[in-house]
Amino acid sequence: MKRFVAIARGRVQRVGYREHVYNETFERDISGYVMNLKNGEVEIVAEGSEEDLREFINEINIIQRPIAVKSFTIRWEEATGEYATFEIIRGDIQEETFERMDYAGDVLHSMDIKFDRMLDKQDQMLDKQDQMLGKQDQMLDKQDQMLGKQDQMLGKQDQMLGKQDQMLNKQDQTLQIARETKEEIVGLRSDTRRHLDDEFGDIRRELVSIKEALVRAGIQV
């Protein structure tokens, strides 16, 4: 077992330093005490295994707002076993009250600073979000313009298809007229052939009759 007596100097009173020292003994087998000195320093007496004590020193020799240990002197001794637990030796009620009020004010100040930093970061994030939304709006505007041009192209395409449909309809009408004309011509040719065949048949029959009459009259043909 070992023992050390340490003196912490700096911003160590009215900042919750004694509570911090006390809390660091919870998971370590350490006994002793911590107390404020009249000159503004803090005295720490601790007994335990050397391993626990060295870890303990690392955790209490700190600069961590609002605590700022600027000097930490240690004197090693042999353990006496006179302490059963680790405790905070407090001063008179007025001194302790002022210390707690100062510590509470410091904690609130630290919280305000942290809150301000959080708000600053939030503002930065919102600014970036606004920039991203602005870029997104620009992209959507460009997309709208592209869709507008696409609509115009589709409108022109519809017009061209409409004209093409009109041309195809006219072509269909022309083909229909051509088919009807062809049918009329074919029908006319058939009628003409039948008429000519009938005329030629009548002429043949008349010639045969004339020939027969001449033969009967003794006229050789």
CA atoms of 109 and 114, how far apart (whole Å): 9
Closest CA to 188 of 176, 196, 200: 196
**Is 117 tagged catalytic?**
no
- Tell me which H or E stretch contains 72: strand 67-78
CA atoms of 147 and 143, how far apart (whole Å): 6
Number of H helices, E strands in the chain: 3, 6
Alpha-carbon radius of gyration of the chain? 60
- From the list 9, 14, 23, 36, the catalytic residue is 36
**Is 36 tagged catalytic?**
yes
CA atoms of 8 and 30, how far apart (whole Å): 18
- List strands edge to edge, sheet with 2-11: 63-64, 67-78, 2-11, 42-48, 31-36, 86-89
Residue type, 91: G
- From the list 18, 23, 58, 194, the catalytic residue is 18
Question: Which residues make beta-bridge pairs with 34?
Answer: 44, 88
Closest CA to 69 of 110, 21, 4: 21
Residues with a catalytic annotation lie at 18, 36
